[in-house]
């Protein structure tokens, strides 16, 4: 089964689970599903209405509990030399709208938008399957090999993979 994953790491996980991962940007998902280029996708509910996925895919699967399939990270980055060239008033605007507080606000906003994003699928009568707690744990167990591969990759690049993974999982648990 061809499945669009949300990142390189998720595509590796999908492959480990037996899927054929397909990399593509989110805006291409709707058309790819409708043309049969992919049979499934991993996307958050919040983007479903914009892509009209609820009209194309009649079935959706989720996990029990408050967690999704994975935690995706986003970064808004700016070249330091470009930032340094900005006048003080614009630096102030950027500084006031970045950092940990802004990151937490954005994460909560995206998560809250999942409720509205799920509604069109519910309204259409689509089948929304939720794994039981036991099935969710089994999936977590089966997909955990990606952690080992990611740690090895980070170690190979000169980073402390095990420590980074533990720190990331700690932050996810703390802020979920």
How many Cα atoms sit within 13 Å of 4 on the Cβ side?
A: 20
Q: What confidence score (pLDDT) does residue 176 get?
A: 66
Tell me what pLDDT residue 5 has.
93
Q: Kindly give the parts of the chain with pLDDT less than 70.
A: 67, 176
Strand partners, 130: 62
Q: How high is the pLDDT of residue 143? A: 86
Hey, which residues does 3 pair with through a beta bridge? 21, 40
What integer pLDDT is reported at residue 68 of this predicted model? 75
Indicate the domain borders of the chain.
Answer: 2-68+115-171
70-78 CB contacts, 8 Å cutoff, 24+ apart: 70/6, 70/10, 70/13, 70/42, 71/172, 72/6, 72/7, 72/10, 72/44, 74/106
Written out in words, the top-level CATH class of the domain with range 2-68+115-171 is alpha beta
Residue 121: Cβ-neighbour burial (10 angstroms; 0-12, 13-18, 19+): buried
**pLDDT of 99:** 86
Tens of pLDDT, residue by residue over 3-18, are: 999 888 899 989 989 9
Distance between CA atoms of 43 and 70, rounded to whole angstroms?
Answer: 10
Residue range 29-62, pLDDT digits in tens: 999 999 999 999 999 999 999 999 999 999 999 8
Specify the pLDDT at position 127. 96
pLDDT score, position 103: 84
């Amino acid at each position: 089964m061809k499945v669009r994953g949300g990142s390189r790491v998720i595509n590796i996980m999908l492959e480990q689970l037996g899927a054929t991962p397909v990399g593509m940007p989110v805006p291409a998902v709707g058309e790819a599903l409708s043309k049969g280029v992919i049979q499934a996708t991993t996307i958050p509910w919040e983007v479903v209405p914009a892509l009209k996925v609820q009209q194309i895919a009649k079935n959706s699967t989720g996990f029990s509990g408050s967690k999704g399939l994975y935690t995706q990270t986003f970064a808004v980055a700016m070249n330091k030399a470009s930032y340094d060239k900005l006048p003080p008033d614009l630096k102030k605007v950027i500084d006031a709208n970045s950092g940990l507080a802004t990151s937490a606000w954005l994460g909560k906003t995206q998560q809250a938008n999942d409720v509205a994003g799920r509604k069109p699928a519910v309204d259409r009568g689509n089948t929304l399957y939720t794994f039981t707690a036991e099935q969710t744990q089994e999936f977590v167990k089966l997909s955990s090999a990606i952690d080992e591969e990611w740690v090895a990759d980070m170690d190979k690049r000169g980073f402390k993979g095990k420590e980074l993974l533990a720190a990331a999982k700690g932050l996810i648990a703390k802020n979920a």
